[in-house]
Structure 1
Amino acid sequence: MHHATDNRPALLLAMSPGIADRLLADRHRERLTALTRTDPHLVAHDLASPSPRVAAALAEAEILLTCWGAPALTAEVLAAAPRLRAVVHAAGSVKHHVTEACWDRGIAVTSAAAANALPVAEFTLAAVLFAGKRVLRSAHRYAQVRAAHDWRAELEDAGNYRRTVGVVGASRIGRRVIELMRPFDLRVLLYDPYVDDAGAAALGVERTGLDELCARADIVTVHAPQVAATRHMIGAPQLARMRDGTTLINTSRGSLVDEEALLPELVSGRLDAVLDVTDPELPPADSPLYELPNVLLTPHIAGSLGGELYRMADQALDEVERFTKGLPFADPVHPGTLERSA
């Protein structure tokens, strides 16, 4: 038993099996143990029908530290966690586990979405610059030709000087992408129904409608949240407006792009694509996406990966520390903004 003088809050880890070992280095577990009363090796995967050890920890817990695959915090789970006051999510979206019941009870929620936005934006910047230089196409063509060739003539339309990039969605990631593109000689268009002219001016971008953005941009990059209103927002009409040779980058969610409409445009070679996400998430084994020379297909790796998980852990533990000091979270999640965020 802890002593009455130990006023550190009790904390329980809750996430998918195997995640905690990738998220937390020894230094994170040490910091957790210093800040809270916790067993840094006890990880709850199931809170609906928990083991006796997890049930006992849940009954005590004032803070849940969650990550990918965290179990849903239903009214029943909350009833078994009478002391719970905060959920600290060491990843991006909390939509999968934070329920109405959490907001009804006034539980404070924070996420590491800001930390997870950084690697996605870095990946996107690299994709933009490579697309402008036609890197993917010329690499494939080089492998075919394998001989002296007038590459300058073939790549006459390439280059990143005054290239026009269309950003769809001024989300955290969209804004970070805009920031990272500042040092380059790029023209940036933005489509976001929630950003007004003053907001666009502050970001240093030109606000446009979605159709106009698709018609004018050399590169279109999608950073909108996955909500009902954004399903297939890049559909046949938007793709048809894109000029030949336009590159579509999607690091958000596969459902934002109508893949049935996109595939013929890629198979014909009219458009290029950098797809880190697809719909379904794993394309069928016979999908042309795997083979097409004008498509860079990656297995949803733009977000935090490998050592980048530690950045999310660091941010989450900073928030745990704020909680233990009685301070408000630096990056709280507000229920009102969830319907238009990831």
Structure 2
Amino acid sequence: MPDRPAALFAMHPQHLAEIFPPATMTRLQHLVNIDTALVAHDFASPAVTDALAEAEILITGWGCPRLDEKVLAAAPGLRAVLHAAGSVRGLVTDACWERGLVVSSAAQANALPVAEYTLAMILLAGKGVFSLNRRYRYESAYPPVRDLRDLGNNGRAVGIIGASRIGRRVLELLRPFDLRPLLFDPYADEAQAAALGARLVSLEELLIASDIVSVHAPDVPATRGMLSGERLALIRDGGVVINTSRGSLIDQQALTRELLSGRLTAVLDVTEPEPLPTGSELHDLPNVFLTPHIAGSVGNELERLGSTVVDEVEQLVAGRPLRQQVLPADLVRVA
């Protein structure tokens, strides 16, 4: 098929085989002319430079360098950037928009496992699993009934911060359960929240009323440090904070003080800094459950990202609008 557009992979090579397993790669090769052995981790090597000069489509992923004016000048025929990962914020520059490139992202596909992780953590937190697990390990005895009275997921209030792709999916997953979802999002209205099965409230009201608070806001200047010490203090004693977004959204020192006091519990898939230093006191606290940034796509979930990109290539080649297109205005309020 000589009329297939030329494409180039630009990501860390270690991710390619998982994102594009054989069946997905075969689909892609039927649509574009691409060297499956050439993966640009930088744009300096002669082979990459030659491929970039011919590329109409750049298929990017984690580890792709920023697409600045110098890179774009070396790719005169480039018309689309299809990102096989979540946020394009660290990748796409103003030069891309000025050039009129079409950009899309697999963020919707990546939202699915994050939401599933969050649902699991909400339900486990409601049963007090994290602290009881450690206690049972060391005491080898059932806890007294009085220590179980505040546990359970019947009518528990769950506060979702951010009606992002992930936040919306979490709310969808919460529907079958007897929970009371609350939502804070400055861009949502009451009708939108109701359609998601939640009640729209202010951030402060959410923190005061929720038993479990889950953070799904984007990492933008307006959200950094949004859960300050003053706001964390609004969460009721025994409350749980779940963060799968970015560590920068929570004042880490203030959260640590709350956790050291034993007043709150935290489930943290992200921290500030990340990874968390081995000497951090959070590693040893019984009321902290840490995971190494695994809520997003890992293992066999990565294939969804590649499939999303191939679907976008199909749209592009057929002259149809992209389903997962990212616009410049989106980056004001999405990750």
Same-fold call, TM cutoff 0.5: yes
What is residue 209 of structure 2 aligned with on the other side? 216
Cα RMSD over matched residues?
Answer: 1.1
Query: Stretches of 4+ moved more than 4 A in 1?
Result: none
| Match of residue 139, structure 1, among 133, 136, 156 | 133
Residues 142, 40 of structure 1: alpha-carbon distance in 2 compared, 3 angstrom cutoff = same
Q: After superposition, what is the alpha-carbon deviation per residue over 1:250-300, rounded to whole angstroms, capped at 9, x for unaligned? A: 000000000100111111211000000000011222111111111110010
> Distance between the aligned counterparts of 1:143 and 1:51, measured in 2?
54
Tell me, what secondary structure is at the counterpart of 2:326?
A: coil
Give, in whole Å, the separation in 1 of the partners of 2:143 and 2:17: 51
Q: For the Cα contact (< 8 Å) 2:160–2:182, is it kept in 1?
A: yes
Instruction: Letter of the 1:35 partner, please give it.
Output: L
Q: What is the alpha-carbon distance in structure 2 between the residues aligned to residue 200 and residue 31 of structure 1?
A: 38
Q: Which residue of 2 aligns with 1:232?
A: 225
Contact between 1:14 and 1:45, CA under 8 Å: does it hold in 2?
Answer: yes
Give 2:65's aligned residue: 71
Aligned counterpart in structure 2 of residue 31 of structure 1, from 17, 27, 30: 27
Give the Cα separation in 2 of the matches to 1:244 and 1:206: 22
Q: Which among 7, 14, 23 is matched to residue 10 of structure 2?
A: 14
How far residue 96 of structure 1 moved from its aligned partner, in angstroms, is 1.1
Q: 2:122 aligns with which of 105, 125, 128?
A: 128
Match of 1:263 among 256, 265, 289: 256
Residue of 93, 105, 116 corresponding to 1:111: 105
Q: Which moved more, 1:58-67 or 1:198-207?
A: 198-207
CA distance in 2, matches of 1:242, 1:144: 29
Q: Is the 8 A contact 2:259 2:287 kept in 1?
A: yes
How far, CA to CA, are the matches of 2:92 and 2:98 in structure 1? Answer: 11
Partners of 1:99 and 1:149 lie apart in 2 by 55
Q: For residues 69-108 of structure 1, what are the alpha-carbon distances to aligned partners after superposition, in whole Å with 9 as ceiling and x for unaligned?
A: 1111111111111110101101000011111111111110
Letter in 2 for 1:71: P
What is the distance in 2 between the residues matched to 1:284 and 1:322?
A: 44
Alignment partner of 1:328 is 2:321 = yes
- The number of residues matched between the two structures is 335
Residue pair 1:253, 1:278 contacting (<8 A) in 2 also: yes
Question: Matched residues in 2 for 1:80 and 1:185: separation?
Answer: 56
User: Counterpart amino acid of 1:250?
Assistant: N
2:287 corresponds to which residue? Answer: 294
Q: 2:96 maps to which residue?
A: 102
**1:94 and 1:174 mapped to 2: Cα distance?**
19
Deviation at 1:328, TM superposition (A): 1.3
SS of 1:215's partner is: helix
Task: Show the 5 A alignment for 1:196-211.
Answer: 196-211=189-204
Question: Which secondary structure does the structure 2 equivalent of 1:173 belong to?
Answer: helix
* Alignment equivalent of 2:54, drawn from 39, 60, 69: 60
Specify the alignment match of 2:183 in structure 1.
Answer: 190
Q: Could you tell me how far 1:144 is from its partner in structure 2?
A: 2.5
Distance 1:149 1:59 in 2: 67
**Local SS of the residue matching 1:304:** coil
CA distance in 1, matches of 2:153, 2:188: 26
Write out per-residue CA displacement over residues 298-341 of structure 1, whole angstroms, 9 at most, x where no aligned residue.
01000000110001111111101111111110110011110110
1:103/1:267 CA distance change after superposition, 3 Å? same
- Which runs of no fewer than 5 residues in structure 2 stay unpaired? none
The DSSP-based 3-state class of the residue aligned with 1:116 is helix
Q: Deviations over 1:219-275 (max 9, x none)?
A: 000000001111110111111111111000000000000010011111121100000
Q: Which moved more, 1:224-233 or 1:21-30?
A: 21-30
Which amino acid in structure 2 is aligned with residue 281 of structure 1? E
Q: Give, in whole Å, the separation in 1 of the partners of 2:238 and 2:175.
A: 24
The runs of 5 or more residues in structure 1 that have no matched partner are: none
Question: Residue 148 of structure 1: CA displacement?
Answer: 5.1
Return the letter of the residue paired with 2:36. P
> What is the TM-score when the length of structure 2 is the normalising length?
0.98
In the alignment, what sits opposite 1:161? 154
Corresponding residue of 1:313: 306
Question: Corresponding residue for 1:44?
Answer: 40
> Residue 211 of structure 1: CA displacement?
1.1
Q: Is the 8 A contact 1:32 1:40 kept in 2?
A: no
Q: Secondary structure at the match of 1:282?
A: coil
CA contact (8 A) 2:106 2:308 kept: yes
Alpha-carbon distance in structure 2 between the residues aligned to 1:268 and 1:332? 45
The answer to whether the 8 Å contact 1:169/1:224 transfers is: yes
Distance (whole Å) between structure 2 residues aligned to residue 148 and residue 22 of structure 1 = 43
AA partner of residue 153 (structure 2): N
Given that residues 45 and 71 in structure 1 are in contact (C-alpha distance below 8 angstroms), is that contact kept between their aligned partners in structure 2?
A: yes
Structure 1 residue 127: Cα displacement = 0.4
Q: Does structure 1 conserve the Cα–Cα contact (< 8 Å) formed by 2:136 and 2:142?
A: no
